[in-house]
Amino acid sequence: MSERIAVEAAAPYEVVVGSGVIGELTDVVGTDVRRVAVIHSVAVRERALGVRSVLGRDQLEVHLVEVPDGERAKSADVLEYCWRVLGESGFTRSDVVVGLGGGSTTDLAGFVAATWLRGVRFVNLPTTVLGMVDAAVGGKTGINTASGKNLVGAFHEPAAVLCDLDVLQTLPRPELRSGLAEVVKCGFIADANILELIENAGAQSVLDPTSPILAELVTKGIAVKARTVAEDLKETGGAEGGIGREALNYGHTLGHAIEREEAYGIRHGEAISVGMVFVAELAHRHDLIDADLLQRHRDVLASLSLPTTWAGAFSPLLAAMRMDKKTRGDQLRFVVLEDLGVPRILAGPEEQVLRDCFAALAGGLR
């Protein structure tokens, strides 16, 4: 069985979630295509060969473009390499890019598609929980620079996203756990049923890649993302002055700074987990949420063995946060909660308050 989630954006498409949905790839690619470039990470090399077999009909050229694992793929050098392969292969506007891998790979593949010939079609085949719930859906594409994460990119919606849950059975447990941080995020900003499902089911069921609980959590997380981006594709603000797509950055301002400080040696979900506890502490100190909701952040994340503290120094993180995409001029802006499922922007908090929040988070380190 599969579930189809419509993303009603400017160019509507479907996210298909279920077992064996990779079989739909040929139909999604279409019949008027001559070349397909499958941009894939090293970790899914064998799966890329399987994708080539699925697409292996007569007269269709399938080019496998292997890129580094993780955030190392999101660089200008790797982007240029992908462009070179497309150029040497004679890639035209009627051809298709497929992104196969985790969130970093789909970010890169989408940006390759957005920039080649000013935009060609692409399809995402995410192979991680993080990729399925977050990166592969919504049309945000991009690469990193020395100044920060995702500072260069474009909005370019996929033609389809196929989330084949079978691939999660081969996913390392730390990667599975990391991706669930984005699911938890969706619970706090939009769908409290996600939190209740995790709390009631327990970590053993949630972290079982064959569990219907995990399948339900992934589907619910995707549904939150789909609704949010349909309302506010380009992050310009939601209906009636609401926060819109910026809500999806809950925990990401500090989280991205930690990733950069760790030279991307920490998993994205782990950094975002710490970032969510930080902004919960920030909201509590501004009397927006109560102590129970603050503690619920720690409890839900800790139940999945996700980190809720970080022992590094704060000053480098503060400098990195000033490069965050939500910053306006010199004013830092954070996505916080004013109640469960009610996100808002907190602009310009005092630096000492930020340091105090971090001290509480990091056990007294500044």
Residue 240: which pLDDT band, with cuts at 50, 70 and 90?
A: low
366 is a domain residue: no
Q: Is 149 annotated as a binding residue?
A: yes
Separation between Cα atoms, residue 223 and residue 137, nearest integer Å = 10
Query: Can 268 be counted among the known catalytic residues?
Result: yes
Residue 236: which pLDDT band, with cuts at 50, 70 and 90?
A: confident
**Res 363: pLDDT:** 66
Query: Can 182 be counted among the known catalytic residues?
Result: yes
203 shares a domain with 155: no
Examine the pLDDT at 330 and tell me if it is beyond 60: yes
Instruction: Tell me the CATH number at 120.
Output: 3.40.50.1970
Mean pLDDT of 217-239: 88
**Res 362: pLDDT:** 73
Residue recorded with tokens 């709390």 = 199
- Among 54-63, 136-145, 205-214, 329-338, which range has the highest average pLDDT? 205-214
Separation between Cα atoms, residue 199 and residue 217, nearest integer Å = 12
Separation between Cα atoms, residue 148 and residue 256, nearest integer Å = 8
158 shares a domain with 180: no
295 shares a domain with 243: yes
Lowest model confidence (mean pLDDT) among 45-59, 156-170, 317-331, 337-351: 317-331
Instruction: Tell me the CATH number at 257.
Output: 1.20.1090.10
177 is a domain residue: yes
Residue recorded with tokens 């957005």 = 114
The number of C-alpha atoms within 13 Å of 212 and in the hemisphere containing its C-beta is 3
The answer, as to whether pTM is greater than 0.85, is yes
Examine the pLDDT at 179 and tell me if it is beyond 50: yes
159 is a domain residue: yes
Mean pLDDT of 218-240: 87
Q: Is 57 annotated as a binding residue?
A: no
Query: Can 297 be counted among the known catalytic residues?
Result: no
Lowest model confidence (mean pLDDT) among 275-279, 295-299, 328-332: 328-332
Mean pLDDT of 343-347: 96
Residue 319: which pLDDT band, with cuts at 50, 70 and 90?
A: very high
Mean pLDDT of 343-356: 96
Say which amino acid occupies 234: K
Query: Can 326 be counted among the known catalytic residues?
Result: no
63 shares a domain with 46: yes
Angle made by CA atoms 259, 303, 129, in degrees to the nearest 5? 55
How much of the chain is in helix, strand and coil states, percent to nearest 5?
Answer: 50, 20, 30
Q: What is the pLDDT of residues 184-214, one digit of tens each?
A: 999 999 999 999 999 999 999 999 999 999 9
**Res 27: pLDDT:** 92
* Residue that terminates a domain, selected from 114, 141, 170: 170
Q: Is 70 annotated as a binding residue?
A: yes
Examine the pLDDT at 328 and tell me if it is beyond 90: no
* Terminal Cα distance for the chain, rounded: 50
Q: Is 72 annotated as a binding residue?
A: yes
- Which of 140, 185, 297, 333 is the catalytic position? 140
Tokens of 214: 């995990």
Q: Is 261 annotated as a binding residue?
A: no
Q: Is 255 annotated as a binding residue?
A: no
Separation between Cα atoms, residue 44 and residue 224, nearest integer Å = 27
Residue 233: which pLDDT band, with cuts at 50, 70 and 90?
A: confident
Mean pLDDT of 82-89: 98
| Percent of the chain surpassing pLDDT 70 | 97
Query: What number of residues does the chain have?
Result: 366
Examine the pLDDT at 181 and tell me if it is beyond 90: yes
- Which of 80, 88, 118, 240 is the catalytic position? 118
Q: Pick from 274, 254, 250, 269: which is nearest to 343 by CA?
A: 250
261 shares a domain with 130: no
Query: Can 225 be counted among the known catalytic residues?
Result: yes
Domain extent for 69: 2-170
Query: Can 256 be counted among the known catalytic residues?
Result: yes
**CB < 8 Å & 24+ apart, contacts of 170-173:** 171/127, 171/128, 171/129, 171/209, 173/207
| SS3 state at 190 | coil
184 shares a domain with 146: no
* Residue that terminates a domain, selected from 151, 170, 189: 170
355 shares a domain with 223: yes
Query: Can 234 be counted among the known catalytic residues?
Result: no
139 shares a domain with 190: no
Query: Can 24 be counted among the known catalytic residues?
Result: no
Q: Is 350 annotated as a binding residue?
A: no
Mean pLDDT of 81-104: 97
Number of domains the chain is built from: 2
Residue 325: partners with Cβ closer than 8 Å, 6 or more residues away: 150, 151, 249
Q: Is 232 annotated as a binding residue?
A: no
238 is a domain residue: yes
Tokens of 296: 């619920």
For residue 316, give Cα distances in angstroms to 156, 258, 300.
32, 9, 28
Query: Can 298 be counted among the known catalytic residues?
Result: no
Per-chain mean pLDDT for the chain: 93
User: How many other CB atoms are found less than 10 A from the CB of residue 342?
Assistant: 16
Examine the pLDDT at 350 and tell me if it is beyond 50: yes
For residue 206, give Cα distances in angstroms to 126, 164, 216, 327.
19, 17, 10, 35
Tokens of 118: 């000013």
* Residue that terminates a domain, selected from 170, 188, 211: 170
349 shares a domain with 314: yes
- Which of 35, 47, 268, 297 is the catalytic position? 268
- Beta carbons of 279 and 249 less than 8 angstroms apart: no
Examine the pLDDT at 364 and tell me if it is beyond 60: no
Q: What is the pLDDT of residues 247-293, one digit of tens each?
A: 999 999 999 999 999 999 999 999 999 999 999 999 999 999 999 99
Q: Pick from 134, 107, 335, 336: which is nearest to 229 by CA?
A: 134
148 shares a domain with 35: yes
Q: Pick from 362, 189, 357, 360: which is nearest to 282 by CA?
A: 357
179 shares a domain with 151: no
179 shares a domain with 157: no
Query: Can 200 be counted among the known catalytic residues?
Result: no
